[in-house]
Amino acid sequence: MPAYMRGLASVAGVTTAAKLSSNENPLGSSPRARRAAADALDSMHLYPEAGSAALRAAIGAFFDLDPERVFCGAGSDQVLSLLTLAYSGSGDEVVFSANGYGRFQLYARAAGATPVPISDRDFHVAVDAMLSRVGTRTKIVFLANPDNPTSLYLPAAEVRRLHAALPPHVLLVVDGAYADYVTAEPYDGGRALVDAADNVVMARTFSKVFGLAAMRLGWVYGPAHVIETLARVEPSFPLTAPALAAGVAALGDRDHVRRSVAHNTEWRRRFGDRLAQLGLAVYPSETNFILVRFPPDARELSSEAANAYLLARGLLPRRFVAPVFADCLRISIGTAAELTAMGDALAEFLRR
């Protein structure tokens, strides 16, 4: 198995760095969530609540979902991994878009299944190509919507078309880690399909808009039989008491969520416009990051050179080793000051 490449958090020799490599919430977490997590430390000698009933109820109230059909885990990564382990294995196939979220391939390999990456169209999910590879051995189709690191989304009609052509034995898993940031229409994060079908699961995370990346909280909404299966294979007490308390409190602070979304919407547009004005190719984003492509035929202005230039100035983007992203950098939507500094540094780099 290849190792998953994580974003840089620091640079040798740089004391203060703007970390724009991991798509975190630049406004931080809700003050309510921080207080709730701190208060929960008083009972750290006790096992946390089993079944996450309070958190599931809060998720149900916030998103208007049946809490009995919600399953919580230590980040959406853990829940997606459990789904793959439960529904695929040796001799089975797991289908996903080749240039999408890199964990899908690793989930399949860890489960003993065969990963089946499907070529896309300039990073757009190719529904027909995906369907052409679905067969009797296919057990799971993963769809990150919007996707990471491409920043693109699949419109609701295309998601429905994908599902409609899947055999009943195939589980469609819609990973909506960035769904809260989507402003484009038409978009469906998966809920409508979950409510209408028996073979669709929608995954979400607390790491992005809720600002709880360090707490490792994620959840899925799905058919009762899938939720029951996940409950059978989950580890004992997968969530800590501070994480559970922080999650409930974060869901209760809708103002913080609104501020986070508003900041992201404004600065995604402003920063994207500035990058485009600098002559860089900017992919349309429905996430909390921007994927930008540098000139492929100018070595001195390559993404590699840009990355080195930025790192030396304490500005940390994300560069991927995959050849298809060789000319690209992914830059998270940070604070106004961080994005201004990033834009200024890139302007200086391109003027050299």
Question: Residue 150 maps to which CATH number?
Answer: 3.40.640.10
Looking at the domain assignment, is residue 10 inside a domain? no
DSSP-derived 3-state class of residue 149: coil
Q: What is the pLDDT at residue 23?
A: 97
Same domain for 205 and 281? no
* DSSP tally for the chain: helices H, then strands E: 12, 12
Same domain for 210 and 271? no
Looking at the domain assignment, is residue 167 inside a domain? yes
Last residue of a domain, one of 216, 234, 252: 252
Same domain for 152 and 279? no
Q: What is the pLDDT at residue 300?
A: 85
Give the integer Cα–Cα distance in Å for 224 and 134. Answer: 25
Q: What is the pLDDT at residue 3?
A: 67
Same domain for 202 and 186? yes
- pTM score of the predicted model: 0.94
Exposed/middle/buried for residue 301 (C-beta within 10 Å: 0-12, 13-18, 19+):
middle
Last residue of a domain, one of 252, 271, 296: 252
Looking at the domain assignment, is residue 1 inside a domain? no
Q: What is the pLDDT at residue 50?
A: 85
DSSP-derived 3-state class of residue 66: coil
Looking at the domain assignment, is residue 6 inside a domain? no
Domain of residue 312: give its range.
18-27+255-351
Same domain for 144 and 67? yes
Looking at the domain assignment, is residue 274 inside a domain? yes
Looking at the domain assignment, is residue 2 inside a domain? no
Same domain for 164 and 236? yes
Looking at the domain assignment, is residue 9 inside a domain? no
Give the integer Cα–Cα distance in Å for 253 and 233. Answer: 32
Q: What is the pLDDT at residue 129?
A: 97
Q: What is the pLDDT at residue 10?
A: 73
Digitized pLDDT (tens) for each residue of the chain, 352 residues in all: 666 667 777 777 777 889 999 999 999 999 999 999 999 999 999 999 889 999 999 999 999 999 999 999 999 999 999 999 999 999 999 999 999 999 999 999 999 999 999 999 999 999 999 999 999 999 999 999 999 999 999 999 999 999 999 999 999 999 999 999 999 989 988 999 999 999 999 999 999 999 999 999 999 999 999 999 999 999 889 999 999 999 999 999 999 999 999 999 999 999 999 999 999 999 999 999 999 999 887 778 999 999 999 999 999 999 998 899 999 999 999 999 999 999 999 999 999 8
Q: What is the pLDDT at residue 4?
A: 63
Same domain for 48 and 193? yes
Same domain for 125 and 175? yes
Looking at the domain assignment, is residue 192 inside a domain? yes
What is the domain count for the chain?
2
Same domain for 96 and 241? yes
Same domain for 232 and 164? yes
Look at residues 179, 143, 144, 178 and name the one whose alpha carbon lies nearest to residue 162: 143
Same domain for 54 and 195? yes
Output the domain CATH number for residue 302. 3.90.1150.10
Last residue of a domain, one of 233, 252, 271: 252
